[in-house]
Structures are given as C-alpha cells and as structure tokens.
Structure 1
Amino acid sequence: MLSRMRCWAGVRRPLTALLSNGSAPSGNQSLTRSRELILSVLSTVPSPREARKFIDSVSGHETLRSQREFEERQAQLAIEQASGVSALVPGEFLHPHTEAQAPMRTLAALVCVDSLETHGVGKLLAQMQRIGVAPIVIVAANGDHLSAVARTHVLADAVEREGGRARPICGGVFGSDVCSEPITAAIADGQIPVVAPLAVDEAQRLVVLDTRSVTALARALAALERAGSMSVARLILLGSESGIAAGGELQRLVNLEEDYVRLEESCGQTGALQLMRTCLGILAPTAVGIVASVHADPSLVLKGLISERPTAVPQYKKPDSHPVVARVLDGVPNYQPISGHAKEAPLIQPSQFTLLRHGFRIQRHTSLDTCDLSRLRSLLESSFQRKLDMAYFERLRNVGIQVIVAGEYQGAVIVTHEKTSGQYLPYLDKFAVLPEVQGTGMADILWDELRVACPSCMWRSRNDNGVNRWYFDRSHGHKRSPVGVGTRWVFFWYQSQTGERVLTPSDVCEGVDVAQRIPPSFL
C-alpha cells in the first residue's frame, strides 16, 4: 500500500492540474461536473503507471529518463542553433530529473456516433475534452442531408449543455480530398469539431456520405500525425450495441489480424468490424479502437481511453455455467484455505465495450522443431536484456511445451509442462515482448492467447521485478518465497474460469516447490 501511495504521489499534482483545465467552476452545476469527472477518472485509472503515461501524452511532454539521452538531445539542439536551422525552443530539454517540455502534439480521438441518442454522448465528449483529449466527432450517415445537419447541431448542443465547447461543421471538410483546416481550427479554439458527413457532388448538390467519410477522415488525421502536429490515439464507435459480440458472447479484446475472419463469420456487427479494421490499419500501430453503446457509462469508455485495455474479465463459473460466489485464498477459487481466512470474492461483471487492436498474426507451436530458434533467442535476449544460456533450449526439449509467437517474433509466450505427482503443471516460463512494439497492445494480445491455451497456469517472478504490478492485476493469487532462502521469488497463478482445471491447495503448494527448482535461463 505504501509503495502504491508513493507511485500516486508522482501523478497526483499533474492529474489535479489536468482536471482543472478550462474555466473555474461557477455554481453548483459546474462543481458537480468537476466532482463527477474527478471521481470518474480516479475510479477508472487501474495503475499509477498508466495514469502517468496518459498524463504525459495529453500534456505534450515526457520525462527524459537518462543523462545520456539528455546530453544527446542537448548536442542536437546546439548543432541546429549553430547551423541556423530553425531549432527547438531553448529550455525544452531540461535536466533529466525534471520534466522536459516537448513540442505540443494534440492527443486526439476520432469518434463516430451512429445513434440519435445524444445526452450520454454529450457528457462523454465533454469529459474527454476536460481531461485533455480532443474528440473529433463525425455523425454517421442516417437519412438525408437536412437530417445530418440537424443531428450535428443537436450533438454539439448536447456537449455544450454538459459544460464542453463544440463547433458544428456542416461543410468544407469532404470533397475530392479531405480538408482538415476546419477541424484543426476548431481544436485550436478549444472546441470539439462535430462534423456532418456531407459533401458537394459534381452537380453542386449536397450528398450524405456513408462510412467512407470516416475512413477518409482517418487518412487525413494520419497525415497530420505524420507531420507531428497530432496524435490520433483512439478510434471510438458509439452505436446501439455494447461492443462486438460473437456467439452471444461479448468480445473484450479483439486482435484484428488474428480474429477478423472468425468474427466476421459469427458476429452481427460486420460493419463496425470492417470499419475498425480499415481505420486502425491507417492510423499508427499504437492506436486503440473502442466499440461501445451510446448508453454506456461514460466512465467505462474513459477507462478504455486511459488504460488502453478492457475493464474486466468474465466472472468465474462452475462447469454447469451457473455463476457462483467463489471462496478464495489469495484469489484462488473453490478450495479451503491453506492458512488464514477465506473471503467472499465479488462477482466481476463482464466489460461493457470491446477494445480492438490492429494486432498481430499468431503462431502456435508444441515443439521447438517448428520454431525459428534463432529469432526466438534474439527475442528473448532483446526482451530480457541478458544473454541466453543455450542449455535452456535443451531443457525445453525434455518437457512438453506450448509456444505462442506474435507477429514476426516480436513477442512470444513459452509454457512448459512441469511434472508433478498428479497431472503436469502448466508453467509460464517466458513472456517476452520486443521494446519497439510496446504500446501496440502486444502484451494484452499474448495474455489473452495464453489464457485460451492454458486455462490454469503458474509462474514466478523476482521480488523486485518492475512487471510484478502487471502480474498482480492478472493473477488470481500469489505467494512469496521466505526471506533468506535463495532468490526472493513471487509465485503467481491464475485459475480456469470454466472448471477445466481447478488448482487445489496441494497443486499450489507442489507448483511453488516445482517452480522454485527450475534452473535459470540466462547467463
């Protein structure tokens, strides 16, 4: 708890400053809106790290993390000044222990509203504006041009009623090319551009565009991003459905490169799916898609916008599929405690939106013979920044394995089948992601693939590993090794949610003992 409080101390002041942007509260209504927004943000930010990342992105600056980087950038500035080239403003690169102000880039979200409902959407857009995100809104085609103009003004008015500032734009954007000037001018004036999907045809008549207008706008915004003036981090589709569903099951996270064909055949929202695939392929690889209902709680959409991951996992169920309240010890369902007292675990409700990534293709291997060992070794060494002991691959050949590879060996999960007195133990031996693909959702994509391949699993991590916070969020339980007994480990596990393999107390104890004895993989 103390360490978490210290982490939050580093984001408290910038968060307060961020939320205080705009005019000061005037009257009870403004005060209520400010309190709602602060409570909404505080209740949805899952970790200090994600809060800091979001604050940095909307503030247009980042912390320089090393003296070497600081010196290199100062040298670059000096060269530009000496050569007479238009240089960055002196003072942008400060001491590495201070926050260095980088050139401002607008953090934007392209929002497509496909519904006549405006109240909840107006509140969401106003809150996005208050936390430093610039929504660029396009009203989906629905009816004739008069209807499109009316809906644009109605939505802009809904934003204004919620304390935001909006500008309806009913022309001048779409033509033979997209003119982004009306949009950037509105953002520069502190207003949310609400764009009607209207264009003038060759006969000088107003015509209503279909979803191609969203695609065309995404291309124009991607060009602004390449020019360095804007970062389009989110694509949000707000309609009548609460996300993408397949077979009656809401999809929490969609890896479009891997899941598109399957979902296209089984879901009823192929239009939203196709639009997401096209636009996320146009925007930067770090862009995130969100499909939600216009009736969704705005705080849920804000959570996806800030954290870049789904809000919850499906609740634990018995094999008969009836929901239960699980008995837990350190989060492990359905067995009597090893020690201490059990507590009632709350039912975790399914998330109410779908988060989508352009993603990566997935390869699955059950033998090293089908893996590219050279690339796998390079991935592991780059990810862990250490030299791999070649005896590691020999050990893998003597146990059952599952290897999940993402993309062109840009990420991988290695699970070994460790021998126990009963069934084998699925053990997460390696979870590796290349540094250059961080921010693309690679870790979440691999984790979802792992959960499908291994409904229950255990793993270990050094006590001082900075990734442990991420593991704590995704595990059902943990146990720390005793002080003074070799390496300080934290042993984690998660449980099957379908009853396929429920770990017993003896499974957990034996698994910890097995994991303790696994030899090191790096020199």
Structure 2
Amino acid sequence: MIPRSAALKRAGSTAQISVGRTSSRLKHQSAPGRPGLPSHERVDAFRCPYTSNAAAEKQKRDKDREFFISVLESSATKRDAKAYLQTFGSSGGVTKPNAASVLQDSFTSVSKTPRFIQPSEKGGVVEVLPEVDEAPHVAIVKFRKPQLWDDDILAGVTKTLTQLRTLGLYSVIVVDCDLDDAGSRSWRKVTTHQVDRIARAIGQHGTPGAKVVDSSLSVNAGSEAPTSPFTSSRLYVEFEAALTSPLRSGYMVIVPCAAQSQELGYVPADSNEVVLTLAKFLSGLQIPREAVEQTPEDSTAIQPPRKATVDRIIVVDPIGGIPARDRPKGAHVFINMEDEYDTAKAGLDLVSDNVLEATKQKHLENLKLAKDCLAILPSTASAVITTPAEAANLNPSHPDTTADLTDLVGAVGTRRKQNPLIHNLLTDRPIYSSSLPLGRIKQQPQPQPTSSGNDAHLTTTRGIPPVMSTTTLAKRGLPVTIYPDPRHSGGGPWQPPRPGSPRLRLTDTCVDLPRLIHLIDDSFGRALDAEHYLARVSDSLAGIIIAGEYEGGAILTWERPAGLDEETAYAQGRMVPYLDKFAVLKRSQGAGGVADVVFNAMVRDCFPDGVCWRSRRDNPVNKWYFERSRGSWKLLDSNWAMFWTTPGAALEGGRIRDYESVCRNVVPSWLDKGKAAD
C-alpha cells in the first residue's frame, strides 16, 4: 500500500478548504498600535464578525463570474444548448428550451440545480451537493507527468474540472507520473506527493472536493496485456463502492496508477490499462470473476449494471494532441476514428524530425487509448487530448509571439481564450472546425475585397498562418465511402474522364438511390425531381461521397462552360469541377462533424486542386461556405453567390469566368418550381 500522509488520508475533507481558516491564522498576528492587549483580544478588536462570511461570498461570486464567462465564451448555438440540456440537464425542474434563448435556459438550469448551503464552524460556507440518484455523467481524465506542472497550471486544470462538474460532468482522475524507476520507493513517494497535491488543488475551488481511491484495483501478474479493448484486462476493479459512492455524492475521484497483486503486493500499473479498465467498469462491461470461473446459463448474471455514463476520455499530457503534418507546430483538430485512425497513425512517422521518437511513441499510445476507449463507449462519447496549459486556459506570457503554442487559434487581442474542454462539453465540437483552411482560422490582416469590373464583387482570403492549437478531439465517428475511391492504390484525385469513356452513374448498384434521394430531400427541405436530375448528371457525374449510412453526402460533377461541347472543353482543359449537391440529414446537422467529414473528403481526397459551387445569396449556410472557401463572388443580376477552393494562381487565364458560366447556367431539379432554386 502506498504510504499516504495524514492530509492524503483525509483527502475528502482536506480537499474541502474553507475560506474561514483565514480567521484562525489572524489569531497569531499582532495588531499594530495595541501592544498591551493579549493576542486574541488584539484580533477581536479589529475583526468584523461578518468578515469571513463576506469574504466567502465574494469568493463565490468571483468563481461564479469566471464560470459564466467560460460558458458564454463557448459560443454555443441554440442547437448546441438544446443537445447539452438533453444530456446533462437535470431530470427534474428543468424547463424545456424555447426559441427565446436556449443558451440562457442552460445557464438558468445550472443555477437552479438544488444546492444545500450550510454554515461552517470557522465562519465560511460549505456547499453539500445532493446525492445523484441516476448514473452520473463521467469524464475519465488522465494526468500525465503532473510533477512537471507548476502550481498555476495545476490550479487552472483543476478549476476547469470543477467547472465541468458544475455543468454536470464528474471527473475520475488517473494520475500517471510516468517514471522510469516504477516500483521503487521513489515512485511511491512521487506518486503519493502528486496525488496529495492534486487533491489539495481541487479543494481550493470549493466543495465537495476529491476522494482518493488507491486500493480499488487488483492485477493478475501472470496474465498478458489485452490485445483488444473487448477482451478481459489484467486489471480488475475489486471494490466498486470505493469508486461509485464518491461520484454519486458529487466528489471527484483520484486514482493512482497502481494495483494490488497477490504475488507482489502494491505494484505500479500501466496508465492506459487503468483508464480502459475504469471505462469498462463504469460502463457495465467488466465481467464478474465468478461469471468467468463458472459460466452461468442466465446471461443477465454476466452483464453487470452500468455504474455511470462515460461521456469523455480526457488526456492532459505535456506533449499535447496528435501532431498533424499539414498543421505546422499544431495537432489534428478532429479525428474520425472510423475513417482517419490509420491515416493519423501513419502521419506520426511523417511529422518533423525535431519530434523525438519517444515523444512519437507517447502520441501513438494516446491515439490508441482514445481508439480503444471509444470502441467500447456510446457513439456520442468523445476523447480530448490536450496540454495542461490549454486545459488550464492560461494566457501566454507574450500573446503576440507566434512561437507560443499555448496561444489558441482564434484568440483576438486581449480576449480570453476559449477553454477547449468546456467548449467541447457545451458544443460537442472542437474550438474551430477541422475543415477550416488555415488562413480562415486567424487572419492578419483582415480579408481585402477587390472589384473585378462592374459585374462582380470578388473577395479573397489573405492571412498569416496562425499559431496552432495543440488540442485534438476524437470521436468514433462514421465511415466515409467515396465512388470512385481516390484513396486506394492506383486511385488519386479525380480527373476529367475522356469523352465517351465509361463513368459512374447514380443508378449503379453501388449507390443506394432511394436513400440518396431521401438525404437530399431531408437536407434541403424540398422534393428533388429525381427523373430530371438523373438525366442532367448522367453524363457529367464525377463521383459521390457518402458519410455513414447516408447521414451526409456530396454529389460532384464535371461541368462545361456555356457554348463548349465536351470534346472542346476536355481538349482545352476547361472542364470545371463542380459541387452539385451537399447534404446532411437534419438530425445530423451540427452534430458529430458530419458536414466537416464530407467537406474534408472532397477537398483533401477528391478535388485537392479546387472545386466550385453556388448557393442562394440568402442561404443561412453561406457563412459556413465562406469560412471554408478561398474566395467568393456575388453574381450580379442573379440570386447566386459562387464559392471556390481553388488557389488564386490557378484562377488566372479566365478560369474564374468558366466558374461563373457554370454557376449561372446549371439548371435546378426540384419538383416545386415556384420556390427559389438551391
């Protein structure tokens, strides 16, 4: 057993630091000008009886202010707030969101959560949260190398976790000191000290504090590491109540990376195995040992009840998120595990040579941990990998320097940075979209509009590459199917087909046409004239992109400028890559990054050299399009706005006029002819 200090043994109460202790410390100070009085009378002569209560109330108001600022800065939409309330809103007494202000309702629901305030013997206030009847929402948080974090960073990280708890997400903190001499006395000393330090830091942010659970795990020293997250682990949660009871009472739980072994006593445990074991246990996936030893006929005896809903896996690691080759000094913003895990894994070998092999290995372990955990958790769960500085939401010492990786992308002037963990909880998204071009994330200077003649208004984006965030959000995600698939060997980006050559058609057996039509109808809110549409794209189809089970998709074509036949357009290299339909089911809009997944597949795999499309000028999606395009053009004498992702140099020689000609002349295919075309 790890020898713990007296403070650590009382972690539940030690972490509940009261402001009232200020009064007891004053008793040992002398009051100037009254040397003849005894010490206790000198203090009483200058102390107001309401001082400690007033200080406690002021501290609480300051904390509430910081909390609400963090929530407001998340920029949550009404859809985000509604989704948050449906997941984390209290089951009783929460008003349903309405059209007036859903986000404001989320603040109200949090503030009206039942709280019991009791006076403290030392003059402060103690807040006692009611015991949670239903399974709590939990984040399993891995702290790697907390001994490298200074006190300010640790205080900031624990404050963030406290704010997450206020929003309904309770933390189980796994402490991984990652020492080379694991098992020695120094390992035990360092681990004990860091656990005590974390418990005290949590207690500084109010009550209830944290409970240390250091004896709930056991290990079978003779077994091998599991090869799959679905197989039995070497680790096992023996004392269930030690974990579940504090969570139901509103405490955070701190778990050192150690376990009991019958042969070796108290031994260190692999932190990733600890996280995965806790995820299985809390999700009701830990198979009871008695069921393993004797397989009962009753299958219900094998499946234990769910102890909690694990919504987040959070890795707070000094090395940050998974490096991305196309984001210098930055990390992957979002990883769709179903489609991008292998790409992200292979990309670790292509990052800068300045990254040490040991660091690359840690990145690989974090990536695999996220994949394994998300494989056994609900599809709504997420994994967030970030640095201590970003989790603490600390401003850099020199905000103007572009070399400081703690400066989040999108920060403007002296405005506080958005906290990636709070933002993700409220929106289920990263701070900025993974499909945003780098120049759109932080622009210096602002885009400069230029005019081209009297019939166009052209806007291009010129910006300085931003300082990149080192936070990565990962979800189990959904598979992406592309016809024809440019990712397979011998594929490559789509190219215009030779006139008369075989090409893909929407009536091919690989395409589920009824589901594709339903996707378009649902996304646009109007009925497609399928017969007219199939005839229009039969000889121009470039390919289609499908996300998941037709939850989102894109239909792309090769179009010809007006007045050119196919032979001439092909011979002159004037075939225009055109995004004809971009659709996401209404129930999937704004959730899970479906639109980003489809858009990224289009610009990364299919048309990396550029594609154009059009949209009604009053289309509310235009802001989303504008942020992801390299330029836009409002076509005069029409209701269309044109967008493109083609680099500026490629638009020379009249290419932009070909784009305009296509966007003006594509004929819509809707059954309701009276409505404005999309």
2: distance between equivalents of 1:174 and 1:463? 61
Aligned to 2:172: 136
Aligned length: 451
- Please identify the structure whose Cα radius of gyration is greater: 2
Measured against aligned partners, the alpha-carbon deviations of 1:189-211 in whole angstroms (never above 9, x if no partner) come to 11111211221012261111111
Which residue of 311, 315, 336 maps to 1:255?
Answer: 336
Q: SS in structure 1 opposite 2:613?
A: strand
- Using a 3 Å threshold, how does the CA distance of structure 1 residues 282 and 479 change in structure 2: closer, same or farther? same
**Does the 8 Å contact 2:556/2:581 carry over to 1?**
yes
Which residue of 309, 316, 319 maps to 1:238?
Answer: 316
Is 1:359 aligned to residue 359 of structure 2? no
- Using a 3 Å threshold, how does the CA distance of structure 1 residues 305 and 392 change in structure 2: closer, same or farther? same
Aligned to 2:521: 384
TM-score norm. by structure 1 comes to: 0.72
Aligned to 1:40: 70
Q: SS in structure 1 opposite 2:168?
A: coil
Aligned to 1:166: 210
Which residue of 82, 86, 95 maps to 1:52?
Answer: 82
Aligned to 1:223: 284
- Structure-to-structure mapping, 1:105-184, within 5 angstroms: 106-116=136-146, 117=149, 118-140=154-176, 142-143=178-179, 144-163=187-206, 165-175=209-219, 177-178=236-237, 179-184=239-244
Q: SS in structure 1 opposite 2:581?
A: strand
**Does the 8 Å contact 2:519/2:552 carry over to 1?**
no
1: distance between equivalents of 2:55 and 2:459? 46
Aligned to 1:309: 429
2: distance between equivalents of 1:334 and 1:111? 52
**Does the 8 Å contact 2:386/2:471 carry over to 1?**
yes
- Using a 3 Å threshold, how does the CA distance of structure 1 residues 259 and 374 change in structure 2: closer, same or farther? closer
Which residue of 273, 286, 291 maps to 2:385?
Answer: 291
TM-superposed CA distance for 1:404, in Å, is: 1.5
- The residue identity in structure 2 corresponding to 1:191 is Y
**Does the 8 Å contact 1:251/1:354 carry over to 2?**
yes
Measured against aligned partners, the alpha-carbon deviations of 1:472-511 in whole angstroms (never above 9, x if no partner) come to 775677789999x9xxx77463545786669998577556
TM-superposed CA distance for 1:50, in Å, is: 0.9
Measured against aligned partners, the alpha-carbon deviations of 1:5-60 in whole angstroms (never above 9, x if no partner) come to xxxxxxxxxxxxxxxxxx99934433332222211221122422112211332114
Is 1:325 aligned to residue 480 of structure 2? no
TM-superposed CA distance for 1:513, in Å, is: 2.2
Measured against aligned partners, the alpha-carbon deviations of 1:218-260 in whole angstroms (never above 9, x if no partner) come to 1122228995663322211110123111337321111222222
- Structure holding more strand per residue: 1
1: distance between equivalents of 2:672 and 2:533? 8
TM-superposed CA distance for 1:407, in Å, is: 3.8
2: distance between equivalents of 1:166 and 1:198? 18
**Does the 8 Å contact 2:561/2:659 carry over to 1?**
no
- Structure-to-structure mapping, 1:19-38, within 5 angstroms: 26-38=56-68
- Using a 3 Å threshold, how does the CA distance of structure 1 residues 194 and 481 change in structure 2: closer, same or farther? farther
Q: SS in structure 2 opposite 1:44?
A: coil
- Using a 3 Å threshold, how does the CA distance of structure 1 residues 324 and 45 change in structure 2: closer, same or farther? closer
Is 1:206 aligned to residue 266 of structure 2? yes
- The residue identity in structure 1 corresponding to 2:546 is V
- Using a 3 Å threshold, how does the CA distance of structure 1 residues 199 and 378 change in structure 2: closer, same or farther? same
- Using a 3 Å threshold, how does the CA distance of structure 1 residues 274 and 506 change in structure 2: closer, same or farther? same
**Does the 8 Å contact 1:495/1:501 carry over to 2?**
no
Q: Which runs of 5+ in 2 are unaligned?
A: 1-52, 98-132, 180-186, 220-234, 286-302, 349-359, 394-418, 485-502, 563-573, 674-678
**Does the 8 Å contact 1:222/1:284 carry over to 2?**
no
Q: SS in structure 2 opposite 1:186?
A: helix
2: distance between equivalents of 1:33 and 1:497? 47
Aligned to 1:74: none
Aligned to 1:278: 372
Q: Which runs of 5+ in 1 are unaligned?
A: 1-22, 66-102
Aligned to 1:520: 670
- The residue identity in structure 2 corresponding to 1:177 is Y
- Structure-to-structure mapping, 1:325-474, within 5 angstroms: 325=445, 327-329=447-449, 349-366=467-484, 367-369=503-505, 372=509, 375-381=512-518, 384-385=521-522, 389-407=530-548, 409-420=550-561, 424-433=576-585, 435=587, 439-452=591-604, 453-454=606-607, 455-460=610-615
1: distance between equivalents of 2:281 and 2:601? 34
- Using a 3 Å threshold, how does the CA distance of structure 1 residues 157 and 432 change in structure 2: closer, same or farther? same
**Does the 8 Å contact 1:314/1:349 carry over to 2?**
no
- The residue identity in structure 1 corresponding to 2:165 is Q
Aligned to 1:78: none
**Does the 8 Å contact 1:289/1:357 carry over to 2?**
yes
- The residue identity in structure 2 corresponding to 1:444 is D
**Does the 8 Å contact 1:290/1:356 carry over to 2?**
yes
TM-superposed CA distance for 1:273, in Å, is: 0.9
- The residue identity in structure 2 corresponding to 1:429 is K
Q: What CA RMSD, in Å, does the superposition of the two structures yield over aligned residues?
A: 4.3
- The residue identity in structure 1 corresponding to 2:62 is T
2: distance between equivalents of 1:494 and 1:148? 54
Measured against aligned partners, the alpha-carbon deviations of 1:410-447 in whole angstroms (never above 9, x if no partner) come to 54222223333665152241324485898444333223
TM-superposed CA distance for 1:326, in Å, is: 5.3
Aligned to 1:92: none
Instruction: Judge which range, 238-247 or 338-347, deviates more.
Output: 338-347
TM-score norm. by structure 2 comes to: 0.57
- Using a 3 Å threshold, how does the CA distance of structure 1 residues 156 and 449 change in structure 2: closer, same or farther? farther
TM-superposed CA distance for 1:336, in Å, is: 9.3
Measured against aligned partners, the alpha-carbon deviations of 1:300-359 in whole angstroms (never above 9, x if no partner) come to 232223222222335329xxxx98635345xxx998997789899876653431111222
1: distance between equivalents of 2:647 and 2:254? 43
Q: SS in structure 2 opposite 1:352?
A: coil
**Does the 8 Å contact 1:365/1:403 carry over to 2?**
yes
Aligned to 2:567: none
**Does the 8 Å contact 2:626/2:643 carry over to 1?**
no
Q: SS in structure 2 opposite 1:458?
A: strand
